[in-house]
Structure 1
Amino acid sequence: MNWNELLRLPATLLAILACIALLAALVQLLAARRHVHRRRHLAATGHVLLMLVLVIVTVFLAGLATTLRGYRFLSDEAPVVQIDSRILSPQRWDLILTWPDGSMRQVTLTGDDFQIDAIVLKWKLPAMLAGLPPLYRLDRLTGRYDDAGQETNAPRTVIDFNEAGQGDLLDLKKQFPSWLPEVDTVFGSGTFLPLVDGGHYEVSLMRTGALVARPDDATRQRIGQPMGE
């Protein structure tokens, strides 16, 4: 990841700003000590007050950076994850998840389909006009049965991506709506596709917040074939 990509991540940018504010607070502390030694108490008081303000800003930015952990910017269409499937037994699958940064995860899923869900945050118009793009984070991957009755009774698999930071934006928006006045809405988006042996799928998220899953050509042909062929 280059610096341009790194600085686009909201949590990273906020963490950098928090560090800058903390350094500025330390500078004010040193200046206050210097004025105290020279018996300039009024000037020292001014530096102490400014230091306290910078400490509050540091805590706020650091807390917001923690809250935004796991969220990512949405471009016109952002790649989310690639999924490769291999059948282990009827309605039991081995999946390899490959993230855009190259990291991988192997999971076992039960069902006929995979379903992947994300949490999407969209800003109000002033923030959008200022160029602030929507954010998203993956929520979970689940197995899905084609038969509704089996969906009720058969074993289900839920894979939690656990990308939310402490004090996640979704929870904060529910509990303290006035704290995030520029947040227009936080909503869920999901998509599913049938699983086939040797399947390859690409999941992406559009700027509108719609999660999209696409099979490659070979997988699409297998999906269209009757079972057993």
Structure 2
Amino acid sequence: LFALISGFGARRRWRDRHRLSACHRGLWTLVFLLLALLGALSGSALLGYRRLTTETTLATLDVRQLGPQRYAVRIDFPDGGHRGVELAGDQWQLDARVVKWQPRAVMLGASPLYRLDRISGRYADAAEESERERSVVSLENNNPFDLLDLKRRFPQWLPWIDADYGSAAYLPLVDGGSYRVSLAPAGGLVARPADAQTAQKLKDAGW
């Protein structure tokens, strides 16, 4: 809006032969356009990220065994969406990406943001981990303007952002298991059994 107003003013002054004033207004028009473009890119880069204020549930997982070391996992998200994946191994692992702000931004009320990155299967035995089939499923949105990528490429443009890859959490895959994964404001990923039955199964498995 400011760019349009300034642009019309510059055009009018140019027609009235106020060349210097028109150039001045034209320069401000360019500045406003650049700021608008930067704002649009920042908004696009935040797509897929969610605001984190308290310990927040990222997802719940329900597991069904398909065969030896093969499981179907349903992932339910807080917004009502869900996704089904198949994992190979003895354990599941969920990774999240976290955006943390610099202290001055935190003082202004900025809260950390998070985005789920991937889910994968893990083997309890390290030898199997290197030899057996791996299963990794991306949970990212296909967004060409990712906030973390922009931070790495143009750190001088985003000085108020302190971004990192967050953390991961994992637990054993058990048939009929139900799990809840949450993220604390400090950025730590936490996985817990979602019901007493799953808690007992994990206890029986030595967890």
TM-score strictly above 0.5: yes
Q: Distance in 2 between matches of 1:188 and 1:219?
A: 26
CA distance in 2 between partners of 1:109 and 1:84 (Å): 12
Instruction: Verify: 1:213 aligned to 2:157, yes or no.
Output: no
Alpha carbons of 1:65 and 1:113: their partners in 2 closer, same or farther (altered >3 Å)? Answer: same
* Corresponding residue to 2:50 among 50, 55, 72: 72
Give how far 1:121 is off.
2.1
- Give ranges in structure 2 of 5+ residues lacking alignment: none
Structure 1 residues 5-38: Cα deviation after superposition (integer angstroms, max 9, x where no partner)? xxxxxxxxxxxxxxxxxx3322333344444555
Q: For residue 35 of structure 2, what is the aligned residue in structure 1?
A: 57
Verify the 8 A CA contact 2:148 2:163 in the aligned structure 1: no
Could you tell me which amino acid in structure 2 is paired with residue 168 of structure 1?
D
Of Structure 1 and Structure 2, the greater helix share is in 1
Q: 1:8: which partner in 2?
A: none
Counterpart among 187, 195, 203 of residue 181 in structure 2: 203
| Structure 1 unaligned blocks of 5 or more | 1-22
Q: Is the 2:92–2:173 Cα contact (8 Å) retained in structure 1? A: yes
Q: Distance in 2 between matches of 1:121 and 1:56?
A: 24
Q: Hey, what's the Cα distance between the residues in 2 that align with 1:49 and 1:119?
A: 39
**Number of the residue aligned with 1:186:** 164
> What is the Cα deviation at residue 169 of structure 1?
3.2
Output the aligned Cα RMSD.
2.3
- What letter corresponds to residue 78 of structure 2 in structure 1? P
Q: Per the alignment, in what secondary structure is the counterpart of residue 80 of structure 1? A: strand
- Aligned pairs for 1:105-144 (under 5 A) are 105-144=83-122
Quote how far apart the aligned CAs of 1:181 are: 2.5
Asked if structure 1 preserves the Cα contact closer than 8 Å seen for 2:118 and 2:137, the reply is yes
Aligned mates of 1:226, 1:127 — CA distance in 2 = 44
Q: Identity of paired residues, percent?
A: 43
Instruction: Note the C-alpha offset of 1:72.
Output: 2.0
Amino acid at match of 2:178: H
Give the TM-score, by structure 1 length: 0.79
The alignment's TM-score, normalised by the length of structure 2, stands at 0.87
| Residue 204 of structure 2: aligned partner | 225
Corresponding residue number in structure 2 for 1:153: 131
